[in-house]
Amino acid sequence: MDLFVELGTDCNACGSATWELEGHHVTFSVYGPDEAKTQDELTHRACVEVIVTSAVGQHTLKETELESYLITFMERLIDVKAFPRTKISGRLCVVTGEASHPKTVAAALNAISLALLQSGLPLRATVAAVCTSIGDTLFTIAVDVTHPKLSGCNRHANVPSIFSIFTGTASSINNDMPNTNSLLTNLLMPADFSQTADKSFYREAQSANLEKDDDLHCPAFIDYVALQLWTPFTPHFLGTF
C-alpha cells in the first residue's frame, strides 16, 4: 500500500491536508469562519461552502454531486451552530482520480478530516474513510428502526457507527473506471459488534435502486464502497480500525 499524507499544504488556510493512496490524490483546504455575504448569511448557524476542482478539464456534474455530498458531510461534522452569520469554506482539488470514484471520495473524506483537525474548528466527531470491494453475499442490510440496540442512545454513545456510504459501479474490465451512477445511503451500525453474522442497520435510502425491505441484501452492482466511520470526538480517531 502506497500512502502519502501531508498536513499544512496551504499556508493561507486555517487547515489543509493532502491524501494520496493507490493513484487517487486529493488536497483539501478549509477557510474560516469568515464574514458571510448577505445572501449566504444564516442567523442560527454557519454557512458551509465546498468547491471541488479537477486538475484538468471543466467542472462537470460529477464535481457538482460531490460538492453537495461534502457540504452535507461537513455540516454534520462541524459544530456550525457555534458560528452564526459566518461562512466556512472548503476547497478540494482532485489531482489524480475521478470525482465520482469511491476511492477518490474516500481520499477526500480523509483529507477533510485531517484538515478540520488541524484547523481547530469544533467538531462533533472525527471521521476515517476506507474503500473496499464487497460482494452481494458479504453482509446483509436490515431495516429495523425499532431495534432495542438503536432505541437507547446512551447505551451505545461511544460505539463507532457507519453513517454514510458512497458507492459506484466498477467495470468488470477496468476497476478504475466506475459507472457514473452512485448511491448515497445513511446507515447506523448495531451497538454489539459480536453479532457479526446478523448486523442490523438503520438506513435512509436515497436511491430507487434499494427497496425498503426488512431484509435487504447488497445488490451485486455495488462493487466498491467508501465507508465513513462515525465516532465520538477523540484525537485517536484512527483507533477505530
φ and ψ at 51, to 5 degrees? Answer: -120, 130
Among 5-19, 95-109, 125-139, 191-205, name the one with the lowest average pLDDT.
191-205
For the chain, the average pLDDT equals 68
Between CA 178 and CA 189, with CA 183 as vertex, the angle to 5 degrees is 120
Q: What is the pLDDT of residue 195?
A: 33
As a whole number, mean pLDDT of residues 161-182 equals 42
Domains in the chain, ordered, with CATH?
Answer: 3-123 (3.30.230.70), 131-230 (no CATH)
Q: What is the pLDDT of residue 129?
A: 83
How many Å apart are CA 107 and CA 1, to the nearest integer? Answer: 14
Q: Do the beta carbons of residue 28 and residue 115 sit within 8 Å?
A: yes
At 5, list the grid cell.
499524507
Model confidence over 197-207: pLDDT tens digits?
223 333 333 33
Q: What is the pLDDT of residue 100?
A: 83
As a whole number, mean pLDDT of residues 17-29 equals 95
Give the strand pairing for 24-35 and 15-21.
Answer: antiparallel
Q: With bands split at pLDDT 50, 70 and 90, how would you rate the model's confidence at 231?
A: very low
Q: What is the pLDDT of residue 127?
A: 83
Q: With bands split at pLDDT 50, 70 and 90, how would you rate the model's confidence at 8?
A: very high
As a whole number, mean pLDDT of residues 211-230 equals 38
Q: Can you point out the beta strands (E) in the chain?
A: 3-7, 15-21, 24-35, 47-54, 86-96, 125-133, 140-142, 161-170, 178-186, 204-205, 215-217, 224-232
Model confidence over 77-88: pLDDT tens digits?
899 999 999 999
pLDDT for 62 beyond 70: yes
As a whole number, mean pLDDT of residues 209-230 equals 38
38 in helix, strand or coil?
coil
Range of 2-11, 143-152, 179-188, 209-218 with top mean pLDDT: 2-11
Model confidence over 40-54: pLDDT tens digits?
899 999 999 999 999
Model confidence over 115-128: pLDDT tens digits?
999 999 999 888 88
